[in-house]
Structure 1
Amino acid sequence: ALVDERGAALVEVNVETDFVANNSVFRAFVTGLLSDLLDHKLSDVEALARVMSSQEPSLSVEELKAVTMQTVGENIRISRALYTPVSSGQSVGIYSHGNGKAVAMVFLSGSENQEALAKDIAMHIVASQPQFLSKDSVPQEVLEREREVFSSQVAGKLQEVVEKITQGKFKAFFQEACLLEQAFIKDPEVTIQGLIDRAAKA
């Protein structure tokens, strides 16, 4: 992942071994892909393959990929690509873990100079792997499925007891599955929403 004045880019490139993933030739190829995404504002792998490489201007990205595969001795697959512009009033944070095996990119709107907060939230996402942004973004079918699971766990109890237990289980589910409800990994006393609210007041 890379962010600069051109925007933000994220690319997923798969190889067969960690040895190649750590290889300087492969790493340079990936860095070049990010620059190409930013230069051409692309979010399409096939379109990316056709552009001329910024790393080796006489070759297309596809041709450079073939050369890189010969050099490192492994198959390389460009799986996903994303470009997004960054507007004024947005802060972007990137966190990469395990030499790029897990990457998160966070955009915060409404205030500038919040890159450190955005990076902290990106790190939290990589570590905690939330499924949803907020309670409101959980699909209805997921809520129904969870309700069925909770109901089966408390079958035979009084209705008032069932309601209380179900509410408690939903609260725990949201705290585990929804980013904004999760306890911040660096300070479990505050949720991600609380962290954002605190930064907005500062």
Structure 2
Amino acid sequence: MNTEKLAKLKELRSQMEGVSIKLCQEALEKNNYDLQLAQQWLQEKAKIFRKDQGENEEKQKFGVVSIKKRENEVIAFLLVYTDPSMPSESEELCKVVESLENILLDNFSSLYEKSDWKLPEEVQKELNELSLRIKDKGVKLEKCRFFQQKANEHLGIYLHHNKKIGALVLIQGGDEEIAHELALQIVANKPQFLSLDNIPQDIKEKEKQKFLTQIQEKSPEKKPDVIQKIVQDNLDKYLIKTYDCFLEQADFRDPETKIKDYLAKNQVKVKEFYLLTV
């Protein structure tokens, strides 16, 4: 990306508050880097999103993201409910969230690294009581993860002030500042997987067939062996773009640099990350 295009990307991002750098770049590319047209494209996309959101309002979930650290142990969870009248900052909900945080951290050693664990009785009791108090049968702990920071590891945490999105990233090498920066990157870019290697094989096979079908429909005149070679040569790029692999994403502070290059420069390895959104 040349200097002029980079300047337009930065200007569009500053004008369209809350829009990701990835979406701003897409808007510019689709509109030949015309700022006014890119703005209109983003505004139209926002209208479509709001319309879809309104149509699905009855099915919508509400919730709050929590991330809590105690020494080298961290828990992160998503508490969801279906009552839109209860704001995420309500005193009632904040008390329950704080109580759940403490109970989960108190039970950390028995729950850490268990894939089949059940909620401690105290947690389930808190959720049941909350459901009764607010008359909402949809209250539940939808997602929960446990992290443990070891020697030479740093844990980056970012929780947005609205408590609707948060991220954790565990790195080897580097420092707390780099870890925090990476957590910000995850919230900004919303990756699905760390790298191509982390995409499950069944997803790869499904997308391979989909990609193969697309090429066959677009270029029916091509021979099967030619199509297979096109798939083989381009599938990785297709998967990385479709599933937003973190290491291949652009650094939102410097779009010309990929995250993997930023990590290599700072001699850092990402062990795992976790993104929570309502």
Question: Is there any run of 5+ residues in structure 2 with no aligned partner, and where?
Answer: 1-66, 112-116, 269-278
- 1:94 Cα deviation (Å)? 1.9
Separation in structure 2 between the aligned mates of residue 141 and residue 155 of structure 1, nearest angstrom: 26
Separation in structure 2 between the aligned mates of residue 150 and residue 69 of structure 1, nearest angstrom: 45
Which residue in the other structure is 1:7 paired with? 73
Separation in structure 1 between the aligned mates of residue 179 and residue 125 of structure 2, nearest angstrom: 36
Tell me the alpha carbon deviations over residues 167-192 of structure 1, each in whole angstroms, 9 at most, x when there is no partner: 34532431452111111233221112
SS at match of 2:119: helix
- 1:5 Cα deviation (Å)? 0.5
Instruction: Return the match for 2:222 from 150, 157, 169.
Output: 157
- 1:62 Cα deviation (Å)? 4.1
1:1-202 matches, cutoff 5 A: 1-20=67-86, 21-41=88-108, 43=111, 44-47=117-120, 49-50=121-122, 61-75=123-137, 76-97=139-160, 99-111=162-174, 113-114=175-176, 116-152=177-213, 153=215, 154-157=219-222, 163=229, 167-168=233-234, 170-177=236-243, 178-200=245-267
SS at match of 2:208: helix
Query: Aligned AA for 2:81?
Result: V
Separation in structure 2 between the aligned mates of residue 182 and residue 27 of structure 1, nearest angstrom: 35
Deviates more, 1:89-98 or 1:64-73: 64-73
Percent identity between matched residues is 23
- 1:89 Cα deviation (Å)? 1.4
Separation in structure 2 between the aligned mates of residue 129 and residue 36 of structure 1, nearest angstrom: 29
> How high is the TM-score relative to the length of structure 1?
0.74
Which residue in the other structure is 2:39 paired with? none
Whether contact under 8 Å (2:75, 2:144) holds in the other structure is yes
Query: Aligned AA for 1:90?
Result: E
Separation in structure 1 between the aligned mates of residue 80 and residue 246 of structure 2, nearest angstrom: 27
Query: Aligned AA for 2:99?
Result: G
For the structure 1 residues 155 and 167, does the alpha-carbon distance in structure 2 shift closer, same or farther, using more than 3 Å as the test? Answer: farther
For the structure 1 residues 45 and 181, does the alpha-carbon distance in structure 2 shift closer, same or farther, using more than 3 Å as the test? Answer: same
Tell me the alpha carbon deviations over residues 70-96 of structure 1, each in whole angstroms, 9 at most, x when there is no partner: 554544322333323221211111223
Question: What is the CA RMSD across the aligned residues, in angstroms?
Answer: 3.0
Tell me the alpha carbon deviations over residues 98-121 of structure 1, each in whole angstroms, 9 at most, x when there is no partner: 72323221111234x23x332332
Question: Is there any run of 5+ residues in structure 1 with no aligned partner, and where?
Answer: 51-60
- 1:143 Cα deviation (Å)? 2.9
> How high is the TM-score relative to the length of structure 2?
0.56
Query: Aligned AA for 1:96?
Result: L
**Higher relative contact order (CA closer than 8 Å, sequence separation 6+):** 2
